[in-house]
Structures are given as structure tokens and as C-alpha cells.
A and B are shown apart, each in its own frame.
Chain A
Amino acid sequence: MRLAHKLILALVIGLTLVQAANAYYRVHRELEAFDADMKQDHQVLGRILARSVTAVWERFGQAGAMSILANATPTTGILLVRWIDEPELHRRVPRNDRVFTDVPISVAGEFKGYIEISESRHFQQVYVRTTLIRSLVLTFLAVASTGVISFVIGVWFVGKPIEKLVDKARRIGGGDVEGPLVIRQRDEIGVLATEMNAMCARLAEARSALDAETTELLRTQDQLRHADRLATVGKLASGMAHELGTPLGVALMRANMIASNPAVGRDVRDAARIVGEQIDRITHIVRQLLDFARGSAVSSTRGLPWREPANLLAVAQRSAVMLQPLAAKRGVTIEVISVENPPEPPANEEQIEQVLVNLLVNAIHASQGAAKVSIHLGATEMRPPADVTPVVWGGSAEPQYAVISVKDEGVGIPPEVLPRIFEPFFTTKGIGEGTGLGLSVAYGMVREHGGWIEVKSEAGKGSCFSVYLPMEFSELV
């Protein structure tokens, strides 16, 4: 049974009881008044009759008096008058249908008997019946109208808001805390709605805090996974570099010994020199691998001053010249575009050149046909992305960065590959075309400078790798 219905039922029962009590007391009072009136009438009639009967009795005797009494009795039967000369008849049991009044008659000081006046309660009973019926009808009408009104009011002020509250509670249970409950009532239901809204607000707050924490946790997990992968790769790389060290050393020294041996022919010495140079290159790569494996702990350039401003334009031009042959072979042209005053951030030129070369090689590999690869030099002021280890910068709200972008018109990077491109040994190139270390080495170097690499790519239109280098030197935190 719904609350509104219960309330209505209670109201109706209450109202009925009140009506019933009211009708009962009214009837009772009216009846009493009726009886009192009747008695009073009987007294008056009794006194008149007594006077006449006494006078006639004194003058004409009992028979005359009795005939007067007989004549005085009305014929309707409602009012009856008779003579009682036996006193015991006077002590009768009260009756419901008639009202009796006895008037004692004394003649010349001697008690003769009673004049009994009795009147039917017929009219009274009719009146009670009418009153009861009227009361019943009135009660029914009152109950019906009250029922209708309270039903409407109950539905409007209780049923509907409660329904809303229930719906809201269900939604909260289902996890939906959005959309506040609008109940414009200044009663308990209104208070409940307000409290429910406040609870939802707190839930939403708690949930968003939880969401933020979860996101942070996932990000940390991701970083940990990445770090873990890097550590594994690092071990692999260092193991490899370690094993390569000795044979490379032997080969390098042998080549150098031949190259500096005057006893052999010039062409042999030249060949040995070239072998030595090539081993130098391998050595360089191995060293890099080792550097990468150890992070920035022991870098081949460790201790070299980074506080010196790097001539980025010269670095860009050198990289372009270096890769000219590779580009030409594929019909790609490289151009360097710079702002008027190219930024000179504190950086290790050798490392930045390495980064640029790696990016350029990728750009050239991605290009098809007579495409263009461009290096753009510029500067910007911005906040570093959240995942970049914060660099301590002095004062200014948005630190300055030098930006070197390498843009190509190549095939672009598919979105599903994009998040992985900085992973070590991740490559989309064929075997022999790349180790998959180039970008991760580049990223590591740029991070060591307190910067980062941003990638924008559109399939079929090309990619743009932007290297951000802080203009203010700072130690990595």
C-alpha cells in the first residue's frame, strides 16, 4: 500500500469517527431537549387539567371530574391522558416509546390519585432517523471530498516527490550521480532531496578524485612498465656491448696496425684505414648502446659542458649535409628553415646532431618519390607536458624552449603505432634497415637535456617530429 493511500485512509477513518461522534452527541442532546420540552408541556397541561379536575371534583364529585378528563384526551393517540387511582401503577418502568408525566390530585386536602399524561416518542424517533440519515449522507460526502482532495494533495506533495526520490535513489544505486533532483518543497521531502543532492555532489567529487587517482596509477603503471622494458633492453644492450667490446677492440687494433705498417702497400694501408674507420663507427654505436643501457649515468659525453649554447643552425645544416647522399639516392630534398635569430639553447651539439640525424633518416625512409624533408628552427614559450620530468626553471611561468622540427611528406605513422615509436627495438622497417633504437636513443638524449620530442602524424600526409630543448640549463630533478 502506498504512503499516500495510507495517509488518505487514516484521514478518512479519522473524519468518519469525528462525524459519527458529532452525530451521536447531537442526537443525544436533541433527544434530551425534546424530553425536557415534552415534560415541560406535560407539566403545564397537567397543572391546567389538575385545576379543572379539582374544581369539578369539589363541585360535582368524581364522576364529573372523570368525564372532563375523558373529554380532555385528544383522539390522535399521540397524547394520552388518563386517571390513575392506584399509587403502585405510578411506579412504572420507564419506556422508550412514550414519555409519562403523573400529576397528583388532592381534593380538600385528601389525595385522590394521579392524572397520567403520556406522549408517544414517534416524532422523536422520526427525527432521530432523519438526523442519522442526514449525518450519514454528510459524512459520506465529507469523506468522499476529503478523500479526493487528500488524494490529489497526497499525490502532488507526497507521491510524486517520493517517486522522484525513489527514481533518484535508483539512479545513484546504478552509479549515476549527475543531474540534481529538483523538488521545490520546504518540508521533510524537500530536505531529503537537498540532502540527496549534497550526497550526490560528494559522491561525484569522490568519484572524480578516484578517477584522477586511477588515471595517475595507470600512468605510473605504464611508466613502470616502460621503465621495466627499458631496464630489460638495457641489460640486453649492455650484455651485447660488453661481448662486442673485445672483438671490436682486436679488429680495430689490427686494422690500425696494418694501416700504420710502412712495409705493406699503400692500397692495403688505405683499405685497413677504412676498416678501422668502419670499426670506429661500430664502436660509436656500441658506446651509444651502452650509454642508452645505463641511461644518463655514464654518458660518453658526461661531464662535457652543456651550459655552452649550441649553434642549432650549424647542427641542422651539418645533419642535412651528412644525409644529403642518402636523400639524393631516394629523390628527397632536405631544406633547413630557420627564424631570423635561431635559438641557442645550452646543449651538447654532438648529441643534438645525433638526434637530428636519427629523425632525418626516418623522415627520408618515410618519403616516397620526389618529396621534401624540412628542418625548422624556432623558439616557443610553453609549459612542458605533464609526463616530462619537470625542469626547474627560474621565475618565468612558461619556460622558453628551442624547437627543432623535422617534417616530411611521407607515409605518416598509423595511430596504433604512434604510442610505441619511442620504444627501444620497436621498428616498422625491414630487417637491416633499422635497429629500432634510433628514436629511443634520440628521445633519451633529448630527455637528458630536460626536453622532449613531440610527434604529429597523419597517415598519407607525413609526420612532424619536434624536439623541444629548454633555453635555461638545469639539472634533471
Chain B
Amino acid sequence: MDANDRLPRVVIAEDDDEMRAVLDELVSGLGVEVALAASGSELVKLLTDDQRVDLIVTDVRMPWMTGYNVALSARNSGLTIPVIIVTAFPDDVLAAQVEKLGSAVLLAKPFRPEELLSLVRARLAPSQAPPDLQP
């Protein structure tokens, strides 16, 4: 089985249980594989696993390490995975930081399901397209 054939894998990091559950449900509904992390350290663990990750959806404020810091570390380690950073407090500083991160987008809480889903779809589209096009 080719690596491209498998489902896209999305990592969702969120410390709030209810939020994590609803995000899981929503994103899973797109027919992708979802891995969950409840803290910054769990997210780091998922990223350092051997398994491939196509998209990170992460909250900013989390125990151990903020989502932004994890994403920054990932970039510094050469990982170019697209990131959706969810926050309840999108200030100018964070907005600038996220923009500098590259292939990252800020989503302000609270948001509608469609807002998140369209962002996820757009980020996954490039990797999703090849399997569809292959004979």
C-alpha cells in the first residue's frame, strides 16, 4: 500500500475535553484520520512519532507548552506541516507570530463548524488531491 493511499492524518491538540471531543467529531466527519493530544507535551510526542502528520489543529493555551511554541519548535526542526492555531484571544502579537511561522492560520474562538472545516479542507486539499487523481 502506497503512503499516499492512506487517509490524511490530522493531529488535534486541545486541553479542553469537550472542545477536543467536538473537534474530533467534526474533523473525523471529513473522513480523515485524527490523532488527539490534550497538552503541549502530548502534541510534541505525536509529532515526534514515526507516523506521518498532514495537519496540526492546536489550541494556544495548553498545559506544558503552548500550541504556538510547539508549532515554532516544529518549524525550527524542519517540519513544514500546515498548522491551524485556535485561540480565544487573537491579539496583534500572536497574529504576527503566526504569520511568521509560515503555512499557519489563526482561528478565533468561538467559531462556527464550517469555518474550521473549510480551513481544514483547504489545508488538506493538496495532499488529498493526488490519491484522487491517481488511476
| A residues lining the B interface (CB < 8 Å) | 238, 241-254, 256-257, 279, 283, 286, 290, 294, 297-298
Contacts and interface: CB of A to CB of B under 8 A. Distances in A.
B89 A290 contact: yes
Nearest to B21: A250
B38 to A, nearest CB: 13
Contacts of B116: 253
Given A257-B25, A298-B90, A298-B91, A248 B112 contact: no
Contacts of A290: 89
Contacts of B26: 253, 257
Given A246-B16, A246-B19, A257-B25, A252 B110 contact: yes
Contacts of A286: 110
B25 to A, nearest CB: 7
Interface in B35-80: 59, 61
B22 A254 contact: yes
B16 to A, nearest CB: 5
B113 A253 contact: yes
A275 to B, nearest CB: 13
Contact of A241 (B89, B95, B112): B89
A-B pairs with lowest CB-CB distance, top 6: A245-B88, A245-B109, A249-B110, A248-B110, A242-B88, A249-B109
Contacts of B61: 242
B92 interface: yes
Contacts of B59: 246
A244 B22 contact: no
8 contacts: A246-B16, A246-B109, A250-B22, A251-B110, A256-B113, A257-B25, A257-B113, A286-B110
A456 B98 CA distance: 47
A294 B115 CA distance: 24
B132 interface: no
B112 A238 contact: no
A244 B16 CA distance: 12
A249 B92 contact: no
Nearest to A239: B89
A241 B25 contact: no
A245 B110 contact: yes
A251 B110 CA distance: 9
A244 B113 contact: no
B110 A283 contact: yes
Nearest to A248: B110
Given A253-B22, A257-B25, A286-B110, A246 B88 contact: yes
Interface string B82-104: 00000111111001000000000
Kindly name the residue among B59, B91, B109 whose own CB sees the greatest number of chain A CB atoms within 10 A: B109
Contacts of A241: 88-89
Nearest to A256: B113
Contacts of A238: 89
A276 to B, nearest CB: 8
Nearest to A297: B92
Contacts of B22: 249-250, 253-254, 257
A350 B61 CA distance: 31
A241 B95 CA distance: 18
A248 B112 CA distance: 10
Contacts of A257: 22, 25-26, 113
Given A241-B89, A247-B18, 12 more contacts: A242-B61, A245-B110, A246-B16, A246-B59, A250-B22, A252-B113, A253-B112, A256-B113, A283-B110, A297-B91, A297-B92, A298-B91
Contacts of B111: 249, 252
Contacts of A250: 16, 18-19, 22
Contacts of A245: 87-89, 108-110
B58 to A, nearest CB: 13
A249 B89 contact: no
